[in-house]
Amino acid sequence: MQQVSAELVEWLQNEIGRGCRPEVLIESMIKAGYEADFARNVINASFASLEALEGKRPNVLGANLEGTLKINTDPLPGNFIKTSDRDVQVLLNMQSPRIMLFGGLLSDEECDGIIEFSRAKMARSHVVDSDAGGTREDEARTSTGAAFQRGETALHTRIEKRISELLGWPVEHGEGLQILHYNIGGEYKPHYDYFHHDRPGEAEQLKTGGQRIATLVMYLNDVEAGGGTIFPELGLETMPKKGNAIYFAYGGMDGTLDSRSLHGGAPVERGEKWIATKWIRQRPYQLT
């Protein structure tokens, strides 16, 4: 069922015309048996096509704009994914669980700019308090960090738009960028990024934007030794390289969660490590 048939196009045109939201259409497709990534690409391309016809956004997803909605859902034109301002290389593409390693997502100047803008805001990193709610310090996470609102600067806005185009998921569904810095010995022990419904403090986080469904970790500098992103259940480690990024999905619109997404940041052995993290939510995310 991973093809765009005439029947699917007709259904999409009707449902979009009725005002259905993208996340509702994605969930409907998944329930009908379509693979989640395919459904997201189709729906995102559909809305991009219609908005481009209305002059609201560029046609960055390859949709055909000649009157009838025709969708190009191929996420990999060659070994690159084209966004409106940058071609991003695909270095690793794992289907299950869904993990992709991107090359050149950020330029050197963008990496340096994020670091310099963040330095004055850095403070000891916290974790979500699973029982009491809010956040707290924890020895499992030994970094310093700075959190930003979506679109806080022109640089943040440009990067967030690129991420949205790359992943096929609306900007509004992303949390603001979180910048993290690790010195020698700094690490983040294996953990999950999604929230557990049965833990009061984590359940509280679901009230704004719903569940986290995916994570994108962007490497802002080259680390001399150590500091890789590890996936213990998979025997996988990706090493930091300036401008590259690791993406992994773990949540479905139907509420399913993939425990194979257990991951951590290995200790830095030499040098230092800077990363920027973007968490993706089920629904639009906005702090009040």
Residues ≥6 apart with Cβ < 8 Å to 195: 128, 202, 203, 205, 206, 211, 212
DSSP type of residue 63 = -
Provide the CATH topology of domain 87-281.
Answer: Jelly Rolls (2.60.120)
* 20-61 tens-digit pLDDT: 777 778 888 888 888 877 787 777 767 655 544 444 433 333
Whole-model pTM? 0.73
Q: In the prediction, which pLDDT does 49 show?
A: 55
Q: In the prediction, which pLDDT does 137 show?
A: 67
pLDDT beneath 70: ranges in the chain: 1-4, 45, 47-78, 126-138, 140, 253-254, 287-288
Q: In the prediction, which pLDDT does 118 show?
A: 94
* Burial environment of residue 137 by CB neighbours within 10 A (0 to 12, 13 to 18, 19 or more): exposed
Domain ranges for the chain, please list them. Answer: 6-74, 87-281
Q: In the prediction, which pLDDT does 121 show?
A: 92
Angle value at C-alpha 99, between 98 and 102, nearest 5 degrees:
140
User: What length is written for the chain?
Assistant: 288
SS (H, E, C) 17-59: HCCCCHHHHHHHHHHCCCCHHHHHHHHHHHHHHHHHHCCCCCC
Q: In the prediction, which pLDDT does 75 show?
A: 45
